[in-house]
Amino acid sequence: MSLQIYLNGRMVPKQEANVSVFDHGFLYGDGIFEGIRAYHGRVFKLAEHLERLYESAQTINLKIGISRAEMEKIVVETCRVNGMSDAYIRLVVSRGTGDLGLDPKKCPKASIVCITDKITLYPESFYETGLEVKTVPTRRNDVDSLNPRIKSLNYLNNILAKLEANLGGCLEAIMLNQQGYVCEATGDNIFIVKKGVLITPPISAGILEGITRNTVMELARGCNIEVKEELFTRHDLYNADEVFLTGTAAEMIPVTQIDGRVIANGKPGSLFNRLLPLYRDLTKVNGPKI
């Protein structure tokens, strides 16, 4: 059976899931999206993902046209139709079909797409040995230009950073903000551990407020681990006791080398090893059933 895609009110086979070349999502990256995971027959943190989706829509003045409850049914049904109890879900809402001009008023109705498939960002061995990353020249978008809290379809800023990482022989990049503070990776948030304290950049640094990021902080606090949201620099990265990334697709992955510097003993740290099983256990019980 062909993979079924939800497209504007109906399920269509993958090969027929097409959008207009006049869609402003295609022409201008004018739209928003969420990457969501399903585990063991449950859609993990779906409420939180939909809250962020609708907040992004509000900020860019995009009228989605359906309620959160209806959107939840679309996500669950797309997984169900495809028989996927474990999946990566891509929910996309674009401004819709208009003309070749920029004016969003020419787009009378948003386009809604829901895709369920599989995704593997990193080899499984990297979760045991750690990831090598590098900081890159491309800075994260300034919050006054395009706020990274909007999970928009325009990911060129992130892609440029990913290209620089690839050219440097790494799978992932660390981006700094306009002031030179560590911001986030191209698709993940970042944490460091120093003297037993878990530290991540604050929202005000110009980062996406990650669902996995917030979950990890909650789990850490539940273990009586001190958590801080504060600015830090590359110097702090290089001298951290642990570094790891978090994101929906990546989950939690350790970083053991940055810009040629080995982090601590070059192995995933004890705090990471403590939190990862807790995170994976949570994925078994959280979220609506498929």
Q: CB under 8 Å to 163, separation ≥6 — which residues?
A: none
What residue has token string 């993958």?
14
Residue-level pLDDT at 280: 93
Residue-level pLDDT at 255: 98
Q: Domains plus CATH for the chain?
A: 4-117 (3.30.470.10), 126-282 (3.20.10.10)
Residue-level pLDDT at 210: 97
Residue-level pLDDT at 120: 83
Cβ atoms 75, 87 nearer than 8 A: no
Give CA torsion, residues 65, 70, 76, 81, to 10 deg: -80
CA distance 31 to 139: 22
Nearest alpha carbon to residue 192 among 162, 165, 224, 232: 232
Q: What is the pLDDT of residues 113-144, one digit of tens each?
A: 999 999 888 888 999 999 999 999 999 999 99
At residue 57, what is the residue type? A
DSSP codes, 9-69? TEEEEGGG----TTBHHHHH--EEEEEEEEETTEETTHHHHHHHHHHHHHHTT----S-HH
Residue-level pLDDT at 121: 82
Q: Both tokens of residue 7?
A: 């497209």
Residue-level pLDDT at 226: 98
Residues designated catalytic = 151
Q: Where are the beta strands (DSSP E) in 86-151?
A: 87-94, 111-117, 131-135
**What separation in angstroms does the CA of 129 have from each of 138, 161, 253, 254?**
27, 23, 10, 8
CA distance 206 to 209: 9
CA 92 from chain centre, in angstroms, equals 13
Q: Both tokens of residue 263?
A: 């982090």
**DSSP 8-state class, residue 213:** H
Residue 38 β-bridge partners: 43, 87
Residue-level pLDDT at 285: 82
Residue-level pLDDT at 289: 86
Cβ atoms 265, 236 nearer than 8 A: no
Q: Which residues of the chain have pLDDT under 70?
A: none
